[in-house]
Amino acid sequence: MIALIQTVVLALDLYWWIIIASAVFSWLYAFNVVNPRNQVVGTIGNALFRLTEPALRPIRRILPDLGGIDISPIILLLILFFLRQFILTTVAPALV
């Protein structure tokens, strides 16, 4: 059972970094640091969008419009942090 918990925590940690990479990529794209017509850049951006958008879309629907500021990745990172801590401090000790 510990192996399953460690696998879930690892998946949460990997998704954490994917969300951060997606946010950084969106800033680079918005400020024209990366070339949007480059096929590699487009592929990376599309992959990051497809990985993060299903989790970010419901959060964006709930949050009020803040103009050009998107805080949904921060909210999602807080949710992931809470889940990770809940698993490590509540679920894992109960199973051991």
Query: How many domains, the chain?
Result: 1
Task: Give the HSE-up count for residue 26: Cα atoms under 13 Å, Cβ half-sphere.
Answer: 16
Assign 78 a pLDDT band (cuts: 50, 70, 90): very high
> Is the pTM of the predicted complex or chain greater than 0.95?
no
Q: Does residue 96 carry a pLDDT above 90?
A: no
Structure confidence by residue, pLDDT tens digits, 59-71: 999 999 888 889 9
Domain residues for 82?
2-95
Sign of CA dihedral 15, 21, 27, 32: negative
Structure confidence by residue, pLDDT tens digits, 4-37: 999 999 999 999 999 999 999 999 999 999 998 9
